[in-house]
Amino acid sequence: MALLEIEQLNVAFGRPEAPLIAVDGVDLSIDEGEVVGVVGESGSGKSVTSLAIMGLIDPPGRVLAARLELAGRNLLTISPRARREMLGRDVAMIFQDPMTSLNPCFTVAHQLIETLRIHVGGKATERRAQALELLRQVDMPDPEHRLDAYPHQLSGGMCQRVMVAMAIACNPRLLIADEPTTALDVTIQAQLLDLLLALQQQRGMALLLISHDLGVVAQVAQRVVVMYAGQVVETGALPRIFEAPRHPYTQALLAALPENNVGRRRLQTIPGTVPGQFDRPAGCLLHPRCARAVSRCVLERPALIDGNPGSQVRCHFPLDGEAP
Amino acid sequence: MSSPTEAPSPLTEHWRHFSRNRGAVAGLAVVLMLLLLALFPGGFAPHSPIEQFREAALSPPAWEDGGSRRFLLGTDAVGRDILSRLIHGARLSLVIGLVSVSLSLSLGIVLGLISGFMRGGVETVIMRLMDILLALPSLLLAIAVVAILGPGLFNAMIAIAVVMVPHYVRLMRASVIGELGKDYVAASRIAGAGTLRLMFDTVLPNCTAPLIVQATLGFSGAILDAAALGFLGLGAQPPTPEWGSMLASALEFIQSAWWVVTFPGLAILVSVLAFNLMGDGLRDALDPKLKI
């Protein structure tokens, strides 16, 4: 059985009669030890999906799902107290902006030890040693001194390392990384990705990597989920999905990568923007932006259909897999 | 590997900003002096605050004609030494400030946290209630509370606390809402923190800077309000040497014996000014937005 199983996840905000649909019927499953990448433009529902898994959608946001199970427990019916116990222990999360993810009032040691105290226990001196060991594991330079540093005394990369240390403190089985490298510069990005991947392999934990950087996802993930306007439009194993995309949106994303535009004067782009609350089209959600759209796309919303083994695509006229 | 340069500790850094402001340091000095007087009034006051020297009633200050070295700032209508009464009054003023500020601060923090965390119905009820309190003139409201509880020093403190609560609630709620949007709060929730822990352990420490400033400024407001209540006869009762009630009992001598009215008034003025200057300096030192 998969570690995380989501079926028909819907998240909506705003008034019920005119909802903003952030996530629309998403299916997602992650096995133990698997690395799954979720890619998509801003506003395609990547982050909201992860927040819904963590139970961080507050009213007036509404979360509905046919099935939302983590490690065999139903997150839809679980009590808030049991859910809090699961958070941090079974599943942990890293955020995009490392500079605001740490509490500015407390030292690194205090925040690490607090997580350990709640979930692991043990003596105060042991916990400090554990905190130091965690900082070593995330390759923090000069960990002894950094223990007593405040977040504003650390660089963005170091803050993110502390976040990773806090996330792995309780040996979670699933780590959700929501654009963990977006706010960092490129050299640090590579280091942090290597670190995440090394920790993932050492500990055998599953990793859900959310990113809009296809290059990052291609480096680390085994399977990719492409999202658009709250829907999954294509899933499949790497590297096949990037070598032979079947959905026009995946193909367009790949075509917009700078490395696929060498020698051109301008980057290829996808015209228009992701539909919002008031301009959600009927039919295929992508049709106003799709070069291949025909009348059927305007009228009929496509379902997610199985393609090759382990891959699915949401398109009436999937591409037959030529390279972009 | 060389160890990194030690950053100055937060306290040192705040002090550096604070000490750059001369007025704030002067205010701090006066406040410290008041504190010393309040802690050891017997050591500084030449006489008891309630002893009546009938033979020397209404004697002028030492430098005036007819004044004596025995009563440096003169005596009041029943012959009590004004200097001694002022020194003993410092303790009362500080206690009034401390008690009413702590009462309203703790109530304000709790209400502000609740309304910041529970947006919607609860928040609306709390904030509209605070708006109503703010809409009433503060002294009038304090008088109404004292009228219900009965006159007396402690009831005056409660009345002042009630009047000051809305300021803290508003301030707290605004800071809480600002902090709640930050990722570290979500990170803390993800680590399994419950609502109470989020409120008091995670968010509250990040909201303290504006509260400290408001509390310091509130101190002077409390002293002023207590003096006003005392002046109206609703605060400290005679023969308690409270500055406001000293003013009130001296009112009839404002033409004939100026010193009886002037010195308590000056004492109120100087201490309120000192607290305000110190509060301003604290704000400059603690508020990161004002730092360059």
Q: Please say if the pLDDT value at position A237 is more than 70.
A: yes
pLDDT average, residue stretch A152-164: 86
Contacts of B206 in chain A (CB under 8 A): 103-105
* Residue spans of alpha helices (H) in chain B: 10-19, 22-39, 41-44, 82-117, 121-135, 138-149, 153-180, 183-190, 195-197, 208-231, 243-249, 258-286
Whether residue A95 and residue B187 make contact (CB cut-off 8 A), yes or no, is yes
Considering CB atoms only, which of A86, A102, A142 is closest to B184?
Answer: A102
Which distant-in-sequence residues (6+ apart) come within 8 Å of A254 by Cβ? A214, A242, A245, A260, A324
Contacts of B191 in chain A (CB under 8 A): 87-88, 92, 114-115, 118-119, 166
Q: Which chain B residue is nearest to residue A103, measuring alpha carbons?
A: B184
Using a CB–CB cutoff of 8 Å, tell me whether B3 touches chain A. yes
The answer to whether B222 and B187 have CB atoms below 8 angstroms apart is: no
**CA B266, CA B269: separation in Å to the nearest integer?**
5
Q: Which chain A residue is nearest to residue B7, measuring alpha carbons?
A: A153
Q: Which residues pair with A317 in a beta bridge?
A: none
Whether residue B205 and residue A84 make contact (CB cut-off 8 A), yes or no, is no
pLDDT average, residue stretch A116-122: 73
| Interface with A, mutate which of B12, B117, B190, B211 (most A CBs under 10 A) | B190
The answer to whether A71 and A172 have CB atoms below 8 angstroms apart is: no
What does the angle CA B204 – CA B206 – CA B208 come to, to the nearest 5 degrees? 75
Distance from CA of A84 to the nearest CA of B (A): 4
Q: Identify the top-confidence range among A197-206, B70-79, B164-173, B238-247.
A: B164-173
pLDDT average, residue stretch B125-147: 91
pLDDT category of residue B162 using cuts at 50, 70 and 90: very high
- Residue A153's SS3 state is helix
Q: What pLDDT, on the 0 to 100 scale, is given for residue A324?
A: 43
Residue A235's alpha-carbon distances to A21, A41, A155, A319, B92, in angstroms, are 21, 15, 36, 14, 74
Considering CB atoms only, which of A81, A95, A153 is closest to B186?
Answer: A95
Using a CB cutoff of 8 Å and minimum separation of 24, what contacts does B141-146 make? B142/B225, B142/B228, B142/B229, B143/B229, B143/B232, B143/B234, B146/B229, B146/B234, B146/B235
Contacts of B186 in chain A (CB under 8 A): 56, 95
pLDDT category of residue B3 using cuts at 50, 70 and 90: low
Whether residue B189 and residue A106 make contact (CB cut-off 8 A), yes or no, is no
Contacts of B210 in chain A (CB under 8 A): none
The answer to whether A101 and A109 have CB atoms below 8 angstroms apart is: no
Tell which residue, A100, A9, A96, has the closest CA to residue A55: A9
Using a CB–CB cutoff of 8 Å, tell me whether B206 touches chain A. yes
pLDDT category of residue B112 using cuts at 50, 70 and 90: very high
In chain A the beta strands, taken as DSSP E runs, fall at 4-13, 20-30, 35-39, 62-64, 67-70, 73-74, 91-94, 174-178, 206-211, 223-228, 231-237, 305-306, 312-313
Q: Please say if the pLDDT value at position B292 is more than 80.
A: no
**Predicted confidence (pLDDT) per residue in A74-92, tens digit:** 887 888 788 887 877 788 8
| Interface with B, mutate which of A84, A139, A168, A182 (most B CBs under 10 A) | A84
pTM above 0.90, yes or no: no
**Predicted confidence (pLDDT) per residue in A270-312, tens digit:** 888 888 777 788 888 888 888 777 888 888 888 888 877 778 8
Q: How many CB atoms lie within 10 A of CB A2?
A: 16
pLDDT category of residue B1 using cuts at 50, 70 and 90: very low
pLDDT average, residue stretch B211-240: 85
Which amino acid, one-letter code, is at A210? I
pLDDT average, residue stretch B121-140: 91
A64 HSE (CA, 13 A, CB side): 10
pLDDT average, residue stretch A97-103: 83
- The ipTM estimated for the assembled molecules is 0.73
Q: Please say if the pLDDT value at position A255 is more than 90.
A: no
**CA B292, CA B290: separation in Å to the nearest integer?**
6
Q: Which chain B residue is nearest to residue A166, measuring alpha carbons?
A: B191
Considering CB atoms only, which of B186, B193, B206 is closest to A104?
Answer: B206
What does the angle CA A59 – CA A61 – CA A64 come to, to the nearest 5 degrees? 110
Whether residue B187 and residue A163 make contact (CB cut-off 8 A), yes or no, is yes
Q: What pLDDT, on the 0 to 100 scale, is given for residue B148?
A: 92
Buried b (16+ CB within 10 A) or exposed e, A100-123: bbbbebbbbbebbbbbbebbeeee
Considering CB atoms only, which of A85, A95, A153 is closest to B192?
Answer: A85
**CA B263, CA B278: separation in Å to the nearest integer?**
22
Contacts of B121 in chain A (CB under 8 A): none
Contacts of A93 in chain B (CB under 8 A): 187, 190
Q: Please say if the pLDDT value at position B116 is more than 70.
A: yes
Higher pLDDT, A171 or B110: B110
Q: Identify the top-confidence range among A51-55, B14-18, B26-30, B193-197.
A: B26-30
Which amino acid, one-letter code, is at B199? M
Whether residue B191 and residue A104 make contact (CB cut-off 8 A), yes or no, is no
Q: Please say if the pLDDT value at position B101 is more than 90.
A: yes
Among B residues 9-38, those touching chain A with beta carbons less than 8 Å apart = 10
pLDDT average, residue stretch B120-149: 91
Least confident of B122-126, B182-186, B192-196: B192-196
Q: Identify the top-confidence range among A16-25, A208-217, B7-16, B121-130.
A: B121-130
Q: What pLDDT, on the 0 to 100 scale, is given for residue B2?
A: 47
Which amino acid, one-letter code, is at B218? G
Contacts of A104 in chain B (CB under 8 A): 184, 206
Which amino acid, one-letter code, is at B151? P
Question: Residue A290: what are its φ and ψ, rounded to 5°?
Answer: -100, 130
Contacts of A153 in chain B (CB under 8 A): 7
Q: Which residues pair with A35 in a beta bridge?
A: A207
pLDDT category of residue B287 using cuts at 50, 70 and 90: low
Average pLDDT, chain A: 83
Q: What pLDDT, on the 0 to 100 scale, is given for residue B269?
A: 92
Residue A213's alpha-carbon distances to A22, A39, A105, B96, B143, in angstroms, are 20, 7, 32, 61, 65
Q: Tokens for B168?
A: 């803290």
Whether residue A104 and residue B189 make contact (CB cut-off 8 A), yes or no, is no
Q: Which residues pair with B150 in a beta bridge?
A: none
Instruction: Determine what percent of chain B is predicted with pLDDT higher than 90.
Output: 28
Q: Tokens for B272?
A: 């309120």
pLDDT category of residue A323 using cuts at 50, 70 and 90: very low
Q: What pLDDT, on the 0 to 100 scale, is given for residue A321?
A: 57
Distance from CA of B195 to the nearest CA of A (A): 11
In A130-267 the beta strands, taken as DSSP E runs, fall at 174-178, 206-211, 223-228, 231-237
Contacts of A97 in chain B (CB under 8 A): 183
pLDDT average, residue stretch B131-141: 90
